[in-house]
Structure formats: structure tokens, C-alpha cells
């Protein structure tokens, strides 16, 4: 039954992605960027509802009060595809995602991504990519966007460890914007590279903002990594 429910949900995910991509592309002539972002968030929220109905997979958030009134830099651990869907629906709509450039070539999904102006990084160009992130990240923050990042850079299976990339911390150091760390245990219910979506409740913890004032990027990054990894350890072993 779990396998069947998971297959049905994946079909829904594909169809909803096509549907919302068409909607997002159709409103581009209106030159209303806010509307495109709102539709993208609606895609995330719709899929969270579908996961609950079709797979019995829900989520619970602790620490919503830690989201500042104004925008900031969201940095979350990356265990599965769930958080790429969920954060789009949970965080306010004005989001700029940092992602690998290859995703833009994915039919429909990549087209919708391009319409909401992500920071698409070509990791093969090294320091040039880092300079791009710093420049475009600061600009997005100045424009009132939430900068969305997975500092591990890839999905990491539970029990494995991945060093955090320093790009987000550099943006924080140079811009003065806070980092809001987010930890979750989605990998317990939607494992990396797995079709199965297991019944249960994903726990999401939004931590207190980490302020960059007077700190170097290395220190900021260490604080973010330590907080997220300690929370993930608790969530995946308790």
C-alpha cells in the first residue's frame, strides 16, 4: 500500500508541476513577479496537502516565531526532495533560491524556476560561482527576497556528514542580514533516492536568527553548521 500511495503521489507531483508551470508562465506578460512567486508557493502548499492525504505524511513546525518580520537568509539541511517542496510553501512567497544551474534544463520544473529568478550556480567555475552568489545574493536581499540555501550543496543521507559550503555565510557577513537555520528529519520519511513516502510526521525546527554582526564568515558558518547538525542528530535518533 505504501508503494502504491507513493506512486500515486509522484504522479500528482508531476501533474501539479506541469499545471503550476503553465500558470506561472502564462502570467509573465503581466510583469507581476509577486504573483509568480505566490503561484510557486501555492504549488508547494498544494503538494504538502497531497502528501498528507495520499501518503499520510504530515509535518509539524517548531519555532515559527523565530522568522524575522523582514527577510533574511534561510539555511536548511538537505536530506530529501521534501524540503525543496515544503520550504517553498512554508516560507513567505518572496524567495530567491540558490541552486545548481542544471536544474533549469528540467522540463516544466526548470522553466518555472527560471520565471522566479533563482541564483543558478555553475559549480564547475569555482570562485567565479562564489562571487556570483555573493553579488546576486546581496541584491536579492536588498530587494526584500528571502535567500534560500542548502549549505550542504546536495542531499545527504541520514547518518552521513557533509561539510557546509561557506557561500551563505559570506553573503551574511557582507550584507549584514541574519541567517535563519532550519533543521528537519524528512529523510526518515522520504529517503534520498527512494520512491517511498512513509506515513508519519516530519519535524521541522526553525532556529533563532544567527546575527553576522562583527563575525567573519568562517565563524558564522560554524555556528550555522553546529546548530543544524545538533538538531538533526536529535531529530533522527530520538
Q: Is 23 exposed, middle or buried (0-12, 13-18, 19+ CB in 10 A)?
A: middle
C-alpha cell at 149: 540555501
Per-residue pLDDT of the chain (238 residues; tens, 9 = 90+): 999 999 999 999 999 999 999 999 999 999 999 999 999 999 999 999 999 999 999 999 999 999 999 999 999 999 999 999 999 999 999 999 999 999 999 999 999 999 999 999 997 888 899 999 999 999 999 999 999 999 999 999 998 999 999 999 999 999 999 999 999 999 999 998 899 999 999 999 999 999 999 899 999 999 999 999 999 999 999 7
Per domain, the residue ranges of the chain are: 2-237
Could you tell me which residues are beta bridge partners of residue 77?
none
The phi and psi torsions of 48 (rounded to 5 degrees) equal -65, -40
CA distance 188 to 184: 10
CA distance 79 to 225: 15
CATH tag, 2-237: 3.40.1130
**pLDDT at residue number 193:** 86
Q: Are 75 and 149 in contact (CB under 8 A)?
A: yes
Q: Which is nearest to 206 in space by CA: 100, 83, 81?
A: 83
Could you tell me which residues are beta bridge partners of residue 97?
148
C-alpha cell at 157: 543521507
**pLDDT at residue number 43:** 98
Amino acid at each position: 500500500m505504501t508503494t502504491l500511495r507513493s506512486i500515486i503521489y509522484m504522479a500528482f507531483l508531476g501533474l501539479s508541476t506541469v499545471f503550476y508551470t503553465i500558470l506561472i508562465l502564462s502570467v509573465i506578460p503581466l510583469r507581476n513577479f509577486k504573483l509568480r512567486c505566490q503561484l510557486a508557493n501555492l504549488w508547494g502548499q498544494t503538494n504538502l496537502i497531497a502528501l498528507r492525504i495520499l501518503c499520510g505524511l504530515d509535518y509539524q513546525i517548531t519555532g515559527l516565531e523565530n522568522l524575522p518580520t523582514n527577510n533574511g537568509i534561510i539555511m536548511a539541511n538537505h536530506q530529501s526532495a521534501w524540503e525543496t517542496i515544503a520550504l517553498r510553501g512554508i516560507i513567505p512567497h518572496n524567495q530567491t533560491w540558490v541552486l545548481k544551474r542544471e536544474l533549469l534544463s528540467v522540463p516544466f520544473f526548470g522553466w518555472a524556476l527560471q520565471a522566479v529568478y533563482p541564483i543558478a550556480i555553475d559549480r564547475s567555475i569555482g570562485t567565479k560561482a562564489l562571487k556570483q552568489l555573493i553579488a546576486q545574493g546581496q541584491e536579492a536581499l536588498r530587494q526584500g527576497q528571502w535567500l534560500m540555501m542548502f549549505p550542504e550543496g546536495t542531499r545527504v543521507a541520514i547518518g552521513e556528514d557533509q561539510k557546509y559550503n561557506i557561500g551563505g555565510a559570506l553573503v551574511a557577513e557582507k550584507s549584514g542580514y541574519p541567517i535563519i537555520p532550519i533543521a528537519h528529519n524528512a529523510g526518515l520519511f522520504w529517503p534520498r533516492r527512494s520512491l517511498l513516502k512513509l506515513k508519519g510526521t516530519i519535524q521541522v525546527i526553525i532556529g533563532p536568527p544567527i546575527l553576522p554582526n562583527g563575525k567573519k564568515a568562517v565563524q558564522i558558518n560554524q555556528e550555522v553548521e553546529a546548530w543544524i547538525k545538533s538538531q538533526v542528530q536529535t531529530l533522527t535518533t530520538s
